[in-house]
Structure 1
Amino acid sequence: MMDALSVVRQLRDLASEPQNRGVIVQDQGCLPGLVLFLDHKDPDVLFATLQTLRYLAELSPNIPTMKNELGMMVSLENLIGREDLSVDIKALAKEVYNILSAPVNPAPRTDGGRKKSQFFINSSNKKAKSVTLHIQGLDNTQQRSVCEEALLKVKGVISFTFQMASKRCTVRIRSDLSTESLATAIAATKVLSAQQVVKNEAGEEVFISLNSCGVEPAKNTALPDYLPEEEESTEMEVDRAISRTAAKEDSSGSWLNAAAGFLTKTFYW
């Protein structure tokens, strides 16, 4: 039997896959349901809902629809102002609010420089780098949630994308954050460990062991300003598509319908 937490967590897992984000926002039941979840009493439901909205907002065309959804911005403002919520929830609510409030189409550059991707909003993206990690123990959505929570608390982490089938996570971080800091945060979960994935001179992928730096990485008292990802190459998108499990690919559509039905029956009166 579905409950609010299981529904929103599965919806979050679907939203973490770039190819699902447009479909979820276009569905007539899911987005209104997520807005209603923003008023839920369970902090776990609130946090998973905000994570889902954060994923959905990474697709630029989704932003106007999300911003204009009835109750969205007001509910986010309410969460930001609540004193009874954790720092993580309030910071993530503020992050999502800022994403939806930001201009969708920044003014074009006039300096003759290379045109930025539509996903660029902040020039400080130039100070970011991407790291691919192989995470031992990343076997299910529960462990994925553990890893997400660990990474979200590290100051300097901008965003991340999982490829569950290959137990990988691509993390976009500020250039001054060491990869060892990520390993330390992941190792602190006691159930996960990380190795860095790089290519050698022959173009072959190899794993590099990461020594925990022994010092707990700086934590976010507020999550970092959202810095959208650069558009990934076609090769990366193909890799992501291949990494999905067949079961997830086959069932995502039917599950989405079931989730929308649950939201409608539960919250519309």
Structure 2
Amino acid sequence: MMDALSVVSQLRDLASEPQNRAVIVQDQGCLPGLVLFLDHKDPEVVFATLQTLRYLAELPPNIPIMNNELGMMVSLETLMGREGLSADITALAEEVYNILRAPVSVARRTPERERRKKSQFFINSSNKKAKSVTLHIQGLDSIDQRGLCEEALLKVKGVISFTFQMASKRCTVRIRSDLSTESLGTAIAATKVLSAQQVVKNETGEEVYIPLNSTGVEVPQNSALPDYLPEEEESPETKCDRAISRTTAKEDSNGSWLNAAASFLTKTFYW
């Protein structure tokens, strides 16, 4: 049975895959539902919704659509000013708001743009044997430190994608299931200025940090990196407009899970 948290968590997982972002935003039910989730009483639902919107905003053509979605900007402003919310929620709401409010510039292949694209690095994102790891990175205080972390992760063979949440000093990394989490810690520690801990939930649902011991861990290295990482619109994976991938349930065709989620949103919030 679907509930708000499970739906938005699945949408967040879908949105973490670059080839799914246009499909989700173009769906008539998902974006309005996400706006309504921003006003949910459960902070976990709100935070997962903001994470989803942050992923969706990484695709530039999505930004004007999201900005014009009824209630989107007002709901984000409300979260930014609401008392009693966690710092993570407030900071992420402000980050999404600023991204959606900023004018979308014409995409150009400048060195700065190529550097920024590394934060959205992905290879074979349809890999079904993948897992997501959330890291808390000590020392992640500026763009320069983020650049060091990007370079370290890009060198690790088996890293599929990663996204930073600078306000909370976190990085969500999708990796092949056969790659050890300790390898990520070793690669990040090799920067000499950063260190990583894994963020997990204990039996009571509270977040705890697990130190990543880098001693003696062999890190598989990419033999070579491309000079330019292809834009998402140039990826062959985007040729299938209805391609939907997810990692937490069985694969099904034609985006049927997305359709089910949209149906849930419609039945819950519209009459």
TM range (shorter): 0.5 to 0.7
Which of 150, 154, 157 aligns to 2:136? It is 150
Q: 1:54 Cα shift? A: 0.5
Taking the aligned partners of 1:258 and 1:46, their CA distance within structure 2 comes to 20
Deviation at 1:251, TM superposition (A): 4.9
* Contact 1:56–1:62, Cα closer than 8 Å, also in 2: yes
Cα deviation digits, residues 238-260 of structure 1 (max 9, x gap): 9xx9x976965535711101100
Identity within the alignment, %? 57
* 1:262 lines up with 2:264 in the alignment: yes
CA 1:126–1:249 in 2, change beyond 3 Å: closer, same or farther?
same
Residue 109 (structure 2) aligns with: 116
Tell me what 2:91 maps to.
91
Q: What TM-score, normalized by structure 2, do the two folds share? A: 0.62
Map residues 53-132 of structure 1 onto 2, 5 A cutoff.
53-106=53-106, 115-116=108-109, 123=112, 126=115
Give 1:29 deviation, angstroms: 0.3
Q: Which runs of 4+ in 1 moved over 6 A?
A: 127-132, 191-195, 232-238, 243-247
Distance in 2 (alpha carbons) for counterparts of 1:51 and 1:152: 21
Distance of 1:183 and 1:62 partners within structure 2: 34
Give the CA deviation at 1:198: 1.9
Is the 1:16–1:52 contact (alpha carbons within 8 Å) kept by the matching residues of 2? yes
Partners in 1 of 2:113 and 2:23 — Cα distance? 30
How big is the shift at 1:180? 6.0
1:192-217 residue CA offsets vs partner (Å, 9 max, x unmatched): 777754235xx69xxxxxxxxxxxxx
Aligned AA (2:68):
N
Q: Is the 8 A contact 1:151 1:182 kept in 2?
A: yes
Say yes or no: does 1:41 pair with 2:34: no
Question: How far apart, in 2, do the equivalents of 1:66 and 1:152 lie?
Answer: 32
Mapped partners of 1:140, 1:42: distance in 2? 31
Normalising by structure 1, we get a TM-score of 0.63
Distance 2:180 2:236 in 1: 13
**Distance in 1 (alpha carbons) for counterparts of 2:39 and 2:248:** 34
Question: What stretches of structure 1 of length at least 5 have no aligned partner?
Answer: 109-114, 133-138, 170-175, 205-228
Matches within 5 A, 1:184-203: 184-186=196-198, 189-190=209-210, 196-200=219-223
Q: Is the 8 A contact 2:138 2:195 kept in 1?
A: no
- Pair 47,182 (structure 1): closer, same or farther in 2 beyond 3 Å: farther
Q: 1:179 to 1:197 in 2, by over 3 A?
A: farther
Point out the more displaced range, 186-195 or 47-56: 186-195
In structure 2, how many angstroms separate the alpha carbons of the residues matched to 1:152 and 1:80?
Answer: 25
8 Å contact 1:164–1:244 — kept in the other structure?
Answer: no
Q: CA-to-partner distance for each residue in 1:4-46, whole Å, 9 max, x for gaps?
A: 0000000100111111111100000000000000000111001
Alignment-derived partner of residue 8 in structure 1: 8
Q: Is the 8 A contact 1:35 1:71 kept in 2?
A: yes
Q: After TM superposition, give the deviation of residue 73 of structure 1 in Å.
A: 0.4
Partners of 2:116 and 2:189 lie apart in 1 by 10
Question: Does structure 2 retain, via aligned residues, the 8 Å contact 1:67–1:101?
Answer: yes
- Aligned-pair Cα RMSD in Å: 4.4
